[in-house]
Structure 1
Amino acid sequence: MRSPLWTRWARGGVLVVLTLFVCAPLYVMAVSSVAPLRDVQGPFTWLPSALTLEPFSQMWKTVPLGRYFLNSAVVALAATACSLVLAVLAAYAISRYRFRGRSGFLTTVLSTQMFPGILFLLPLFLIYVTVDRTLGTELFATRTGLVVTYLTFALPFSVWLLVGYFDSIPRELDEAALVDGTGPLGALFRVVLPTALPGVAAVAIYGFMTAWGEVLFASVLTDDRTRTLAVGLRGYATQSNVYWNQVMAASLVVSVPVVLGFLLLQRALVQGLTAGAVKS
């Protein structure tokens, strides 16, 4: 049975409004990135008086954007890889084995997502300073320290999501692999993990996006040498001027890796999130 005409018109109107709501900021960002600075600093116009690609070349010179880009890439990829390996092993053990405190552990893992990140900022800072003084291992203002920091809130969600996804995979696959002489790790990597690729992709995207755009911890636990993109964009605002066109151009460039990754793996992401949510 077809929906009434007014329902279809209302649905279309809502979709148009939502599309404009999403696309309008992107259009403003794109237009501002190719407009001269005098036009961006003046009253906003939907069509700029002139177009220029100079902001895309000058943005690398105004601030050390290349170094910030490298720091963000290294930290995001390392945090994603570490959280992926640890989450896969932990989630498989929780999903396939029954042990005392299993339910409490899962509840604790999930409850960590309820606390705001600001609560962990000062404790992590004190821990890093103490480790540096006692063990001589530098964690503050280093990429390693930032990777460890991102693991503290990316890993719990990744474990919880993969537990639900592994639960949706029949245990008969593990048993068949064990009968063929494969050990538990062999069953995981040869049988279960290839089946769970959508869930693994969802975890990878989540970990990368979280680390790539994080601002709070990166603004405190880094210095000029290890600063990431999310914090480094503030360098376009000086005491005398704000290079808005370069900020917009840099923001577009910064968004490219995340957008491309999401577009390439969006189907796996949706499948992984759906399976994890249903089973959990």
Structure 2
Amino acid sequence: MPETRRRSPLAPARSFQAVRAVFLTLLTGSVALPVYVMVTSSLKPLADVAGAFHWIPSGLTVRPYVDIWHTVPLAQYFVNSLIVAGSATAASVVIAVFAAYAVSRYGFRGKRVFTVTVLSTQMFPGILFLLPLFLIFVNVGNATGIALYGSRAGLILAYLTFSLPFSIWMLIGYFDSVPRDLDEAATVDGCGPLGALLRVVVPAAVPGIVAVAVYSFMTAWGEVLFASVMTNQQTRTLAVGLQGYSTQNDVYWNQIMAASLVVSVPVVAGFLLLQRYLVAGLTAGAVK
């Protein structure tokens, strides 16, 4: 009888590598294709963008990147977004650090109810909170004269309603993974609870804090629903201000693409700089 040919043990591995290469190529193409369309469209004259799309542009110009600052007050929107997103991120991180540390290290009545309530708020869509917050801001303004509706402070408070619960819940898991021996060692050295938190636990929890900060900033930076209702012409953010490139008579597609790329620069740059902390923070506590 003819001898059966043995199958090489490397064949399955090579097949898997080939399938993986095809999959990664398709995935990279699906991600790079929209970016290519945005970049090429932002460098075309308006007449070339308004018609049928051409994969190879006939001419390139940087004029759209100059016009985006004059068609709409993009610089003002940029400043508003930086203030709102930065303030919401700072407030969310500070409050979440103290709240998560208290839940992680101390026992108190209603602790389980508090953690479940914090987590359950993430199950509801943000639009459910829009009308109640709108009514609260208007009534507070009428009663006290504090203008929350149409102000950057009101928008910051609105963003805290859905970024803070997730930040607290995430940091609770991260603080649980930090050994309690560090707290005890800091206490022996003369630190109180606040000193142990700031001098020992927070430095050890930098990856988790960075992950929370990135999440809060990205949530506030690209949010549209609350920003379109809670702001006016002076406090409008970038996510809403991009609508100004669309008028009743025309749509400046090349400027929209150019402005979208400019708006994405802070988020992309921050993500690349903090990527190693972000990955470590998101995976922390998974084994525990």
Scaled to the shorter chain, the TM-score interval is over 0.9
Counterpart in 2 of 1:96? 105
Larger radius of gyration: 2
Alpha-carbon displacement from aligned partner over 1:150-192 (angstroms, at most 9, x marks no partner): 0000000000010000000000000011111111000000000
Counterpart in 1 of 2:125? 116
Q: How many residues align?
A: 279
The code of the aligned residue for 1:128 comes to F
Q: After superposition, where does 1:244-259 map in structure 2 within 5 Å? A: 244-259=253-268
Task: Compute the displacement of 1:135 (Å).
Answer: 1.0
Counterpart in 2 of 1:133? 142
SS at match of 1:4: helix
- Where has structure 1 moved over 3 Å in runs of 4 or more? 276-279
Q: After superposition, where does 1:200-239 map in structure 2 within 5 Å? A: 200-239=209-248
Task: Compute the displacement of 1:204 (Å).
Answer: 0.6
Q: Does 1:14 align with 2:23?
A: yes
Q: Does 1:82 align with 2:91?
A: yes
Q: After superposition, where does 1:50-61 map in structure 2 within 5 Å? A: 50-61=59-70
Q: Kindly indicate whether the alpha-carbon contact (under 8 Å) linking 1:110 and 1:157 is maintained by their aligned counterparts in 2.
A: yes
> Separation in 2 of the partners of 1:240 and 1:233?
16
The code of the aligned residue for 1:175 comes to E
CA pair 278-234 structure 1, distance change in 2 beyond 3 A: farther
Q: Kindly indicate whether the alpha-carbon contact (under 8 Å) linking 1:162 and 1:276 is maintained by their aligned counterparts in 2.
A: no
Counterpart in 1 of 2:179? 170
Q: Kindly indicate whether the alpha-carbon contact (under 8 Å) linking 1:161 and 1:276 is maintained by their aligned counterparts in 2.
A: no
Aligned mate of 1:275, from 262, 275, 284: 284
TM-score (norm 1): 0.98
> Separation in 2 of the partners of 1:54 and 1:227?
25
Counterpart in 1 of 2:205? 196
Name the % identity: 65
The code of the aligned residue for 1:166 comes to F
- The runs of 5 or more residues in structure 1 that have no matched partner are none
- The runs of 5 or more residues in structure 2 that have no matched partner are 1-8
Counterpart in 1 of 2:5? none
Aligned mate of 2:58, from 24, 49, 70: 49
Task: Compute the displacement of 1:4 (Å).
Answer: 2.7
Across the aligned residues of Structure 1 and Structure 2, the Cα RMSD in angstroms comes to: 1.0
Alpha-carbon displacement from aligned partner over 1:15-34 (angstroms, at most 9, x marks no partner): 00010011100000000000
Q: Does 1:183 align with 2:192?
A: yes
Q: Kindly indicate whether the alpha-carbon contact (under 8 Å) linking 1:79 and 1:151 is maintained by their aligned counterparts in 2.
A: yes
Q: Kindly indicate whether the alpha-carbon contact (under 8 Å) linking 1:164 and 1:278 is maintained by their aligned counterparts in 2.
A: no
Aligned mate of 1:263, from 255, 272, 276: 272
Aligned mate of 1:67, from 76, 86, 92: 76
